[in-house]
A and B are shown apart, each in its own frame.
Chain A
């Protein structure tokens, strides 16, 4: 009798995966029976590097942990160091940090839904999503000076003000983006190809989402309304009016739509910030004194909660810098999502948690 089950290795380098990750998949025919994950292929020793660099240099270092949430990392790191040193960030700087975070969130979510279209084989939609994202990339380059690494956060505030020359430009880019985003949402919502490939696969029930303590859009698409911007507000989020997007279906399709809805909310947040932002300094001009002790900070990155821990012994170099990124919580839930799926859907389901392996293994 011929064997019907076999082990299918996927990764660490695989055409369908954006980043190196290794899956040992037990397959029965075309159906996945069980999954084992093995990680550690892009470990760069960044936590050890952070312990050899001073507090200023680490702002640049943590910005390079991950390119797609490259503002969440330095912002959260700076928040942790500010908590430790008792530094009060000026209000305008808090608004500027929110703007940078939300601009990055829009670009990150558009990238993820674009990759989803690519994995369904719908490459013209992928190209279109990337072109819509290009509006935001242009905005980042024009306002901050780089397409990915904004370099906006420093300990004690922000570096680049949004003034009379850049604010109209940023608003103009948002005006360009809004109709495009609306149109894109319609395509992702109604397109028969996208729907047949993504609806009902990679299911994560509410109970399983809670059991695995998933975060970010993965949790929210499974009905867990957990958004740090509301649960543990930081910066100026309490003063901003936006809705936490949730869904109950918990499949690949609902996660993609949820990301697009969040991008729409982010556009609203940036517009509100530009309207409400008070004048004043954009950073504390003094060089911070960092006393011995430890502190934490957390914030809502595009993929979910990112958590920073810093311990200082009073020198100019942190004694320990540790971070937990959202993908670490989400990738365990892949074992549930991938169970009983088709081999062809593996890449789509993996992409639906928006994995950031370089963050997680750093």
Chain B
């Protein structure tokens, strides 16, 4: 007991080492991995977040009128691993430092992120494509901004035309 007596007295003088939560805010580091946040303006519906989510907390359903997708992230299924935020190519998903997730039982089936994400339109033919928000055009589409806004079919046609112009096919005559 003797070597510890000094420590015990010191700890006694230092007072409690716990936060007085909920009467005062608890200390939270800015890096804390809390509740996920989703920015529908940046989401391109690539679905990598759903692919890496071990908890199956993310669902992406087509909307009823077919004009876009409904993005769902269930906070009660989420395990706060942050894999979705790490693999998100556009930064649409982030982990906030908010850990205040207590809610009443009645809110159990509404405690989720539910965002409607409309499809984009092909710049040439107007067909439905994945969303093309400006932030994504500036980053992912920087390499070929024109082609980035096209649907796969228009993209293919454009490539075929380019190739045809660059290398006109010569008809070989049989000897």
Contact = CB atoms under 8 A, between A and B. Distances in A.
B7 A57 contact: no
A303 to B, nearest CB: 23
A124 B1 CA distance: 10
B140 interface: no
Contacts of A134: 17
Contacts of A149: 80-81
A60 B85 CA distance: 13
Interface stretch (B27-35, B106-114, B147-155): B27-35
A159 B85 CA distance: 10
A56 B31 contact: no
B33 A57 contact: no
Contacts of A151: 33, 81-83
Nearest to B6: A183
B47 to A, nearest CB: 12
A192 interface: yes
A57 B53 contact: yes
Nearest to A128: B7
B31 A143 contact: yes
B82 to A, nearest CB: 5
Nearest to A132: B7
Nearest to A154: B86
A141 interface: yes
Contacts of A144: 31, 33
Contacts of B52: 54, 56-57, 60
Contacts of B11: 128, 131
Interface centre among B4, B8, B32, B87 (most CB of A within 10 A): B4
Interface in B57-106: 79-83, 86-87, 95
B2 A192 contact: yes
Contacts of A122: 4
Interface residues of A, number: 35
Q: Is the interface of A mostly helix, strand, loop or mixed?
A: helix
A146 interface: yes
A67 to B, nearest CB: 12
Contacts of A145: 29, 31-33, 82, 95
A183 B29 contact: no
A134 B55 CA distance: 28
A327 interface: no
Given A141-B29, A143-B31, A144-B31, A186 B3 contact: yes
A183 B7 contact: yes
Interface in A172-207: 183, 186-187, 190-193
A279 to B, nearest CB: 20
B86 A142 contact: no
A64 B17 contact: no
A56 B1 contact: no
A166 interface: yes
B54 interface: yes
A144 B86 CA distance: 13
A312 to B, nearest CB: 17
A56 B51 contact: yes
A54 B51 contact: yes
B4 A124 contact: yes
Contacts of B32: 141, 145-146
A32 to B, nearest CB: 28
A263 interface: no
Contacts of A56: 51-52, 54, 83, 87
A190 B83 contact: no
25 contacts: A54-B51, A56-B52, A56-B54, A56-B83, A57-B54, A57-B83, A59-B54, A59-B83, A60-B54, A61-B54, A124-B4, A125-B4, A141-B29, A141-B32, A144-B31, A145-B82, A145-B95, A146-B33, A151-B81, A151-B82, A154-B83, A186-B3, A187-B3, A187-B7, A193-B1
Interface of A: 53-54, 56-61, 63-64, 122, 124-125, 128, 131, 134, 141-146, 149, 151, 154, 159-160, 166, 183, 186-187, 190-193
The 4 closest A-B pairs by CB, nearest first: A145-B33, A60-B54, A57-B54, A56-B52
